[in-house]
Structure 1
Amino acid sequence: MFIETDFNEAFEQIDDRCKELLERVLTDKNVSTLNYSDVSYELVDDFYASQPNHDFVYIVLEGAVAHEQESATLFHYDIGDIFGLDQIDNPSPYRLYSAGPFALRRYDRAELLNTVTSTTSITPIWCEYLLEECKRRTCIISLVEQGVDKASLGFVHYQVGDVIIEQDTEADSVYSIVEGHADVFVNDIKVGEVLENEIFGAMALLTDSLRTAKVVASTTCMILVVPKEQFETLMKTHPHICLNLMKSMASQIVSLNEQVTSNE
């Protein structure tokens, strides 16, 4: 995915990660056996207006497809990207177009989504992809919007020693480290670390409770901050993410309890 303005290293890292995760999903043996068809197009003014039905998702094999909304081109899907995951309204709230030839791989949407959400080996990878995609869209907004406080759009920088999350405070966001890493403390006892691409701060939101730990930047960090409302929307539209987060958090809690016990 690319945009028609200067993009930064963080965007490139997130974009590469999205493509890596999606490739892992699509090359899994359970997905690679699904039926698909490869289709080529020349110039297209409105992709969905030219399609007989909207029941497919598409992987870009060659070229690029632009995404326009409210008369503004926000970004371009390029090789390795997927589009069509959302249920398309009629008429579509956005326009997909191309100024040059492009090729796509077309999958039945229901079949693909059923496979990736019901196959144990790839569901966690798919969940991680969706969360990375959330990062990528947030990054795009921060890059294409002019005169907007970047921190309000999700990306915040922390210096060594800065507190990212304070224990026993109300939860209003979920976090993911784009660059750097942080230490986790419970009652001022270090119990773990948060590394790049890891998500943290979700437990308090999911359980509607106060923060159970303090997270402090151990290096210079760039953090993606996802507001509560946006995170809740993601949970509603992709409930399997919630299940995988709960499983992950349960494992983390067991590990933290063992570390706290060993330090007593």
Structure 2
Amino acid sequence: MYLLGEQPAYADQLISRLQSIPGKLLDGLSPCGEPLQVERSENLASDLPSNQLFIIDNGLLHALVDERPLFYLQEGDLVGLRQGIDLPSCRYTCDEPLTLIPYARSDVFKHIYASEPRQELFIQYLVGHTALLSDALARIKQPEIRPATGFKHFAKDDALINQGDEADHVFIIIDGHAQAFVDGVKVGDVQKDEIFGAMAVFTNEKRSATVIASQACTVMVIPKDQFLSLMESNPRIAHSLVESMARRIDLLNKEITGLRQSS
């Protein structure tokens, strides 16, 4: 198995070591049939018998998880371990000819468990692949918000943000209540758990309103870049933001309607 993208040196070393294990696991076991030639496949798992495992003798097999390319299997890799197990979808495709050597699934496991050294190798093989995927996830995962450096406390009447300021952070009121003002005129309230300050982040413009604490507030402060990354990776945050903006637009419309009626 080889993960897509650039790998650190230690990952390359582990991949090389894992690549040699399937051959050792199957040493002394005869294939259950002639090599299988696959010219092209969009879903190889559906084309293969579930009672067999295969060693890739030649060619590349691409793996897609949730339809996203994640890794590929190459010569010496074992194919078919996922067959018959209820796991998240993983689709294998090949665009060029692929040669697979078939082994009876039951015979493979009997062969492995008949020898303690082979059992140990098999464990190394499974754990090694898990480690590779975990390491890749750790390297691409966005950093979490760290509460120790991401919270600020404001007293009543303190300005949380000021109209005309640069927009380099987004905020969430964790506790308390605030009010939004444009040119000194109140245009809305900011409730607990609401996200504010995002509009200017999206438009790359200066703050369009001043937000003042109407009571003591605790606010989570999220850097702009981190917030945009969180928006992409966490739909709940996006949903909360849409709700917050919708409430503010509704309140602003009511304010405008009230002003028109009183004039």
What is the TM-score of this pair, normalised by structure 1? 0.49
**How does the TM-score come out when normalised to structure 2?**
0.49
